[in-house]
A and B are shown apart, each in its own frame.
Chain A
Amino acid sequence: MNDDRPLTGQIRRHGPPPTLSEYEDCGGYAPVRTMLSHMTPEDVQQEVMNSNLRGRGGAGFPTGQKWSFVPMGADAPRPKYLVVNADEMEPGSFKDRLLLEGHPHRLIEGIIIAAYAIQAECAYVFVRWAYHPSVIALGRAIREARETGLLGHNLLGSGFSLTVHVHTSAGRYICGEETALLNALEGHPVIPRSKPPYPQVCGLWGKPTIVQNVETVCNLPHILAHGAKWFRNLGKGKDAGTKLYAVSGRVKQPGVWELPIGTSMREILEHHAGGMQEGYAFRAMQPGGGSTGFLTEDHLDLAMDFDSLSSVGSRLGTGTAIVLDDRTCPVGFVRNLEHFFAQESCGWCTPCRDGLPWVERLLADIDNGNGRPQDVEILERHVTLLGPGRTYCAHAPGAMEPLKSALRYFRSDFDRHIHDQRCPWKSQGTEA
């Protein structure tokens, strides 16, 4: 195993994913074999709890703690389910695709581990429609695993059975929200469910269910192989493990890299993404996808980990950064984001359904040179009215994070649009 890049070390960037036998030659599925013969589900839960692994889907919830709410033992409701969230539709996010296309066997191994830990007998991988190569790679890997007895009835004679199905979606961002995803899988109208009850107790078809991001699950094999302590030491600061970081925008080399969690934004931006393209200067970035708050030059030396970014009012999110350069209008940037959020609202609650289109409209007016002086204040009011605690899910609050921080860091740009009644960037001809 490639020690400092356990998630991606075996991925060939321009070749097919490792086959089952190639994976086994590098130690693949050994952790599962050991687990099935020597560890109880409680042992696995404990190891993952000790590892400090936090969910990589955006919220950063500790994985071991999530599992601890699942009813265990002979009286627990059956069947239990594991759902892998491979919806990845947040603008700017493209990290799970690398794992799905590049190393499906690692995901399957992670699935076996997570399912065993909570004693789930059925797992669904919920993949977004656009990821065709991922679906093909996963299907092939599942077949191989089944033929070897790593999936199916009575895995390797352990008495534990597990079936894995791939469900492909057909669009819509809300399907990635974990309770909406459960409704989507069941074929019900895709809106989030109210919590409690939490999915761990009452999830898919009313049974105990955990929903976990692709990257989270792919971390499990090496946690079992090398132990919790080793995993904790991979991180640079308080958080444990490595993280897939990505950068898109006007940088020299957009891409995705596996680095110690807690690597600074400056290192990611300058060293891995190659810095800004000629003729473009850095202005700000969203550190973890379209629903995370902007950060500026002043924040570049911060560690990209959960606590450091929340301490400055942003979030690690998915760890996939989007860079705003000096030749792109920040109002246009936020307008594009809010168009996405307004379009993708599921419409279940009023603040989100009615507020987001209004936000989009105000931003369009400002961007088009028709902004009114009171518009900024109305936008600010939306930041509160659509904020945490007022909606059924985190969609609307997520939509407000970039708006809130934009009003803070780019306030003079908003004012200038409104005062001059035009977009200063459009006159330079750098934008359509």
Chain B
Amino acid sequence: MSRDEKIRSMLTEEEKGMIDEELSHYPTTRAGGIEALKIVQRRRGWISDDLLLAVAHHVGMAPAELDRSATFYNLIFRRPIGRHVVLVCDSVSCWLMGADRLRDRLRHRLGVGAGETTADGRFTVLPNVCLGACDRAPAVMIDETLHGPLTEDELDRLLDSQMP
């Protein structure tokens, strides 16, 4: 199989169907590029170069243009990430309610700092702007679930409960 064919066959029929459904919401295909990346990322964790090419090809965008979008948005991952993504709010309400203590606990407990993934591939820790949950400060989002207000020990228990 040539590289081109290999890339074309990377997306599943299900993914293509979901992407086409999103594209139908817009008069131009490029408008659906970011939704397409999210559909693929949700299934595969992150967007490798080959996946980026595959999506660009399917959507009909120049790969460089799609990559410009992909690298602009902080929640499109262009590098491998852990099975769970831990977003720690670093904005002001959480900061003044003790977000630094949560970050220290994560560093201590998982041995990783901001932007790093644990050696066992379970967690990636990322700082994130205000999660829109300042009444629940300090707040953390694990994958797609919001948690807060959290103490260090509660955070520990949450990490324990993330399987696998």
> Which A residues have a C-beta under 8 Å from some C-beta of B?
88-94, 96-97, 128-132, 165, 167-173, 184-190, 205, 246, 248-250, 254-256, 290, 320, 322, 324-325, 328, 332-333, 336-337, 339-340, 343-344, 431-432
Contacts and interface: CB of A to CB of B under 8 A. Distances in A.
Interface stretch (B12-20, B88-96, B109-117): B88-96
Contacts of A254: 93, 134-137
Contacts of A89: 129-130, 132
B97 A249 contact: yes
B-side interface mostly: mixed
Given A94-B133, A290-B91, A325-B96, A172 B72 contact: yes
A170 B76 CA distance: 7
Nearest to A334: B92
B164 interface: no
Contact of A340 (B32, B61, B91, B133): B91
Contact of A165 (B25, B37, B101, B144): B25
A432 B96 contact: no
Contact of B28 (A167, A205, A328): A205
A281 B95 CA distance: 17
B31 A130 contact: no
Nearest to B77: A170
Contacts of B104: 432
8 contacts: A89-B129, A167-B35, A172-B72, A189-B69, A246-B134, A248-B135, A248-B137, A290-B92
Given A130-B132, A168-B35, A189 B68 contact: yes
Contacts of A165: 25
Given A94-B133, A172-B74, A333 B28 contact: no
| A91, A132, A169: residue with the most chain B Cβ atoms closer than 10 Å | A91
Given A129-B75, A254-B137, A340-B92, A186 B130 contact: no
Contacts of B95: 332-333, 336
B92 A91 contact: yes
Nearest to B25: A165
A339 B127 CA distance: 12
Given A91-B129, A171-B73, A187-B30, A336 B35 contact: no
B129 A255 contact: no
Contact of B93 (A170, A249, A431, A432): A249
